[in-house]
Structure 1
Amino acid sequence: MTCEEGPLMSLGFKLFVFDIQSPDGDIIDCVLSHQQPAFDNPELKGQKPLNPPERPSGYNLSDETIEDFQLWSMSGESCPQGTVPIRRITEEDILRFGDISTFGRKTIERSIKRAAYKEHEYAIGTLNKGTYFGTQATISLWAPSVEGRNEFSVSQIWLGNRNANGGELNTIEVGWQVYPNMYGGDTHPRFFIYWTRDDYQKTGCYNLVCSGFVQTNSKIVIGASISPVSTYGGEKYVIKLFTWKDPKTGNWWLQYGGNLVGYWPSFLFTNLRSHARYVHFGGEIINSWRKDGLHTSTQMGSGHFAEEGTRKASYFRNLQVVNEHNTLIPAPPLNLHTDNPTCYNIKGGQDQVFGNYFFYGGPGRNQWCP
């Protein structure tokens, strides 16, 4: 399958060494690394995953102490070296999603003639019209409630670029999401990735659903549940994500906690082959159209507004970017934006502990957001 042929790979029918039953119901297949979905792409046929590159200068090895616990590993089993763990896609997954032709893809915002209606809503910090070669952030982990069959709640990083005419958007996206329709109907936050090179039209997909991302790690499952999660007023848990462009190969690499997960080959992209022109951080939800006119009650982040602070609101902290000298540096001040501040909001700042940071999120439908 080429990256233009649609999102579906072999839907879990790849040959695997053995499988592992996760406590949350997932089945994890240990697939030989050179037989993973990426190598269905003609440009990678007969190849094997590349060795890791050097990290950009300014990278701190102490950052690798952040835990990256996933539920599937509670079984005590693990995939052997030479294999990669892949969450099995089942027939039930596809039937629940409802449309095999779009399974594993982001939905394109529908054209609905209704004043002030917006299906995708955001609370984000943005860096625009720059030259970026990567980014790193620490994101607090929550399990927001999600309403509606086709809704999700996402906390993520976007790296993107468009051509000179403003079209052909290329993006790389990483973060955690609660998306019941995509993952067995559950409400666990899950580590995810996404990419597209044509504005979500024909290329790209979530996780490893299509040929694209090359996984090099035998310990991390893309699309797996993350645990434990933060509690309101209680213990806080985070994930740390680092994505950067290797100056030697042009590939975009991804690190999750202390684990180098893999890379997006440079040939997948057009505009992102050189650099990213924007970096966005923050939350996104889907507000499904309702005949009663009510806003969704899908939560973003912790489900609480930004002003509730460290123990109660969701946050991104220690935001960094990779510059043209392949150096990881603190991110410049962000432009903060929210589509619907009575439903979800965002407030930023900077200090010695959190670096450049912001709090964000909200409950969705409430007395100010009917």
Structure 2
Amino acid sequence: MNQHLSAVFAPIRVRAQNYARSATAATKSFGWLELYRTNFCQKRPDINDSDTFNMKSTEELILEADFGSTEAQLRLAAHYIDDETFNFDCAEKWLRLLIKKESTYAKYELYHLYNTGRIIDGVNYQTDENLAVSRGLLIEAAKEGHVQALYELALIEMQNKASYADGFNRMINSANRGHTHANTLLKKYEQKLPPTLVMAANGDLINEESDHASTESRDFQLSVELGNLGVATRQAMAGDYLNKRQLFEEAFVWYEKAAQQGNSEAAFNLAVLHVENAVPQADLNIALRLLEPLAKKGDSDALHLQAKIYLQKKMYAHAIAYFKLSADTAADSSIKDEESEYAERFTKKYGDAEVVREADEIYQYFLRRLKAT
């Protein structure tokens, strides 16, 4: 982005997906969790298929999953490993089926299921047999790039000198792939991480931040696999995860996929990447096209971003008009004031009589179009 303009504006309001979803609740590694077992997979609350805002009963999803739907199997697995709807047998069933399809998500989650040490109705599911299987699953998931698996395997390997170097490199890889707590640890210890037991004694490993990082990383892998199946909202959510971590080129790929399916939030964030010149293929004209459907609906953020594009293109009448329109459509009073200030500032700077006249024509035309919709 033009350095002069970046000094004028506050950061663009990048927007995350607003879809309510039941994220897998993080559980403390190696902890004990008291939960009750339900014997019948079907008798669970209905699953909110948040990507389409449609309600699907578990019976419907089970039917689809039994007929081989990978998407349904992923949704059921995520549902049954959630603390609020936990069912060991059902989770294990769907995760095992997904592993046969080489699901990285399922490999990590079955490892986590076996390794956590759940006691349900007096039965301890952390058996020697399950633990033996779980280590192999963790290694496979880490090799396939699962962010949380990389982090947890790193901690295991950093427990002793023989494997410390491998663990340290894996921790760096985890941080580079967006694990926020791995990044925090590397910063705290200035890239010189002590052995795992020392970090544990210092209270670094089990805390709110590490739980949050685990939840985000696990949900990201679910988004990747559902996104690869064409679920637009999950494609956008994968983009959000990467964008938040400034992995812009990877975020661009996911946003583009979601935008092509009509996801408006992905289209907006894709436009931001173009405007901010965050990717090699940045193109202001593409950004304008992405924003136009949102602007036509009176989206203040989209109008603001279009105004910035017009400034960069030195189309000052359009820029002034769009800042005024952004002010008119903003819901927040502080944003209204901010956008009005931009309009006034650039009117004074660039607004000769001809520019002011043209800006007013554009503004009035757009207002009429908004009222007509």
TM range (shorter): under 0.3
Larger RCO of the pair (alpha carbons < 8 Å, separation 6+): 1
Higher normalized strand content (fraction of residues)? 1
TM-score normalised per structure 2: 0.26
TM-score normalised per structure 1: 0.26
Please tell me whether Structure 1 or Structure 2 has the larger radius of gyration of its CA atoms. 2
